[in-house]
Amino acid sequence: METESSLTCGNLLRIVYLSKAEKAISEDDLQHVLKKARAFNSEHGMTGILIYSFGYFLQVLEGPEEVLLRCYLRISEDKRHSHVTLLHAVPIMFPMFSKWAMACLGEKDGISINFEDLLRSRFELANDTTTKFLLDRFLARVRAVDAN
């Protein structure tokens, strides 16, 4: 019998979402969230990265579509953040973050993103290309940090 954690191919999906923290997140709080996320993701064949910066979360999640969508629904109902906004959802052949069950980056790592630009471009349909450009540029920076 095949388990979710043994899935390495099939319908893989990558999503990127943005949300606003309801209160300031301490390093201990963040580590607690990461510990739970890493355990869940490892068990369910998911990978990703969480960025916490200036009171906002930006997360990239990759994995089997059904598991990922259930996870995103649970995340969107979490009361520790609000204004959960799906920025990007795309089928993928291979995960971009295959060695990270859940990495975490922030200002201390030289990673920042203009959250206001992303939100503004997301809600202006004419600027969907801008959202993709900003995300692509951001993901390239994240991959560069991973390569070092």
pLDDT score for 148: 52
State the angle between helix axes of 65-76 and 27-44 in degrees (0 to 180), rounded to the nearest 10. Answer: 150
- pLDDT above 60 (res 123): no
**Count, residues in the chain:** 148
Using CA of residue 110, residue 36, residue 116, residue 21, what is the dihedral sign? negative
pLDDT score for 57: 85
Q: For 66, phi and psi rounded to 5 degrees? A: -60, -45
